[in-house]
C-alpha cells in the first residue's frame, strides 16, 4: 500500500461494527445451496428469511443448476451492486462421473492432462448463455477416487468463472471413447468462500431466530460477511472530505486520496474505501499507481458504481 498522507477517519463505522440491520444491508450471506431449488429460488428463500431485518433485495453470484449443491454467495441489499465482480472469481468443484464402461485410473489421468490450462469450451445445450466457442482456464484437475467397478470416478477441479463441468464430462467421454454422465456435482469454493463457511437455509433461519428472540447476533454475523471482505479488487482509500462528492457524482481526485495499492494499471477496476474501511464505490483507474505518485492534482479514478452515501 502506497501512503500519500496519514489521516484519521471520522465518517461512518468499521464494517464489522455496523448495527445488525445495516450490517445485513451491506452483507454477503454464505449459503450452502441444496439440490432441488434453483439459484434464483435459493436467493429468494434467503431474502424471505432475512426480511424480518429489513432485507428487501438479494442476488446471487454464479448460477448453480437445480441438481447441483454447494457454495452460493447471496448478496444482500446494497451489496447486490457488487455481484458482477464476485461472479468473475474462480470456483472449485467436486464431481462424480459415471462411465458406461470401466476405465483405468491411468487412462483417466492421461485424459485429464488434455484439459488443464486454457481450453476451448462450448456451453452445453441446457445453459442460459449463447453457445459460442470460448476459452476458459482450468487451474487444476485431479482424480480423487475410482470405485471398485471402475465406472464411477470422483474428481476435483479449480476453474475460471463461466466454466461448465457438465461439458467437461462430455468432452472427457469423447477423449476416452466411453459414454459418461455427470452423476453428481458440488461447488466447494466460490470467490474465495469455502463450503465450511456456509450454512444451509434451515441453519440461517435458526440463526435469525436466535438474533430476534434471544438477542444473540453472533451466529448470524458469522455466516454473513461484510461486502468489504468479499471484494478482491485493488484498494484506494480516500479522506472524509472526498466521500460526499464521490457519492454524489464526482470522480476521485488525487488530493482526496490517502493511500492506494501498488501496481494499479490504467483502466483497471478498483474498490474505493473510506478511512473506516467501508466500501464507497467501484471505479476505473484513469492513471497508474506510478503516475498518481508523481502528481499532486487531477482526476485519478472514474467512478463506475456508488455503493453507499455518506
For 183-223, write each residue's pLDDT tens digit. Answer: 999 999 998 899 999 999 999 999 999 999 999 999 999 99
pLDDT band, residue 126 (cuts 50/70/90): low
Q: Reply yes or no on domain 16-84+194-227 having CATH 3.90.230.10.
A: no
Query: Strand pairing of 27-33 and 224-226?
Result: antiparallel
Q: What is the pTM of this model?
A: 0.90
Lowest mean pLDDT segment, chosen from 62-76, 103-117, 126-140: 126-140
**Residues taking part in catalysis:** 65
At what angle are helices 165-176 and 105-113 packed, to 10 degrees? 120
The sign of the torsion formed by the CA atoms of 54, 56, 61, 66 equals positive
> Where are the strands (E) in the chain, listed by range?
2-3, 27-33, 58-60, 69-76, 91-99, 117-121, 134-146, 152-159, 180-190, 193-194, 224-226, 234-238, 252-253, 257-260, 269-273, 279-285, 299-306
Domain 91-187, CATH number (from 3.40.50.970, 3.30.43.10, 3.60.21.10, 3.30.70.3190)? 3.30.70.3190
Of the segments 132-136, 215-219, 247-251, which one has the largest average pLDDT value? 215-219
Q: What is the mean pLDDT of residues 237-247?
A: 95
Domain boundaries of the chain, sorted by first residue: 16-84+194-227, 91-187, 233-306
Helix intervals (H) in the chain? 20-25, 39-50, 83-86, 105-113, 165-176, 201-213, 218-223, 240-247, 289-294
What 8-state DSSP symbol labels residue 67? T
Amino acid at each position: 500500500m502506497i501512503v500519500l498522507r496519514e489521516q484519521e477517519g471520522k465518517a461512518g463505522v468499521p464494517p464489522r461494527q455496523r448495527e445488525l440491520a445495516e450490517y445485513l444491508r451491506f452483507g454477503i450471506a454464505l449459503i450452502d445451496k441444496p439440490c432441488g431449488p434453483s439459484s434464483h429460488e435459493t436467493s429468494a428463500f434467503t431474502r424471505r428469511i432475512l426480511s424480518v431485518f429489513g432485507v428487501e433485495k438479494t442476488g446471487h453470484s454464479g448460477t448453480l443448476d437445480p441438481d447441483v449443491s454447494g457454495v452460493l454467495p447471496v448478496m444482500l441489499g446494497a451489496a447486490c451492486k457488487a455481484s458482477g465482480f464476485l461472479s468473475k472469481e474462480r470456483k472449485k468443484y467436486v464431481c462424480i462421473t459415471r462411465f458406461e464402461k470401466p476405465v483405468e485410473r491411468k487412462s483417466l489421468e492421461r485424459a485429464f492432462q488434455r484439459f488443464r490450462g486454457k481450453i476451448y469450451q462450448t456451453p452445453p445445450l441446457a445453459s442460459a448463455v449463447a453457445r459460442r466457442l470460448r476459452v476458459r482456464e482450468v487451474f487444476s484437475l485431479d482424480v480423487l477416487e475410482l470405485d471398485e467397478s471402475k465406472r464411477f470416478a470422483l474428481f476435483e477441479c479449480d476453474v475460471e468463472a463461466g466454466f461448465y463441468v457438465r461439458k467437461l464430462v462430455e468432452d472427457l467421454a469423447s477423449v476416452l471413447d466411453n459414454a459418461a454422465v455427470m452423476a453428481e456435482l458440488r461447488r466447494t469454493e466460490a470467490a474465495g468462500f469455502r463450503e465450511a463457511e456456509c450454512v444451509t437455509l434451515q441453519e440461517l433461519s435458526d440463526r435469525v431466530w436466535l438474533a430476534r428472540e434471544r438477542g444473540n447476533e453472533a451466529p448470524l454475523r458469522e455466516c454473513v460477511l461484510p461486502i468489504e471482505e468479499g471484494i478482491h479488487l485493488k484498494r484506494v482509500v480516500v479522506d472524509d472530505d472526498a466521500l460526499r462528492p464521490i457519492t454524489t457524482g464526482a470522480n476521485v481526485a488525487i488530493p482526496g486520496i490517502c493511500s492506494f495499492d501498488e501496481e494499479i494499471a490504467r483502466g483497471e477496476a478498483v474498490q474505493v474505501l473510506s478511512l473506516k474501511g467501508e466500501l464507497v464505490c467501484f471505479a476505473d483507474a484513469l492513471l497508474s499507481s506510478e503516475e498518481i505518485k508523481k502528481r499532486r492534482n487531477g482526476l485519478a479514478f472514474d467512478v463506475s458504481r456508488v455503493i453507499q452515501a455518506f
